[in-house]
Structure 1
Amino acid sequence: MAEGFNKHFLRLPFPAFGYITPLLELSRKVVKAGHRASLATSESLLNDRRSRKMMTLQDETTIHFVRLDDGVQHVFDEQLTAEVL
């Protein structure tokens, strides 16, 4: 794709657990197609994704994350993590 035609997609998801994951996957596909992607969400949700290893190092370098301070202290609770059988 020509450099001048690249688009920049900004996502502003509803700040809940089930809304971030699909938009993160969509952001990966947008980047793979040659565009730029930004995802704006609360810092606590981004920290949660990071602690659950739902974001890769490649995500951190290819997707621009806009961290919105929500004042919530992140506490990782392994009991809330789904166990894959």
Structure 2
Amino acid sequence: MAIKLPLHTLFLLLVLLLSAAWMPPKASAQPRTCSIELDSSGCTAQDCVAKCASQFNGVGECAHQEYVSNFHCVCLYACL
């Protein structure tokens, strides 16, 4: 037993399905974050921040290396 739908209902359903199929995919609003080590021999916070900002337009911070007594400069920046 088939259900009969009015013609205008079928037309609206078809338009709805086609419009959903033709919608472009959403772009990600958040850029990926990458990191790079700028200096492994030591870190001065002011120099690390300045170097990261000038070279990568990012945020630099001094991070502690595990099993090593000194800090190193790590730069976090938006990458493609």
TM-score normalised to the size of structure 2?
0.25
Higher strand share: 2
TM-score normalised to the size of structure 1?
0.24
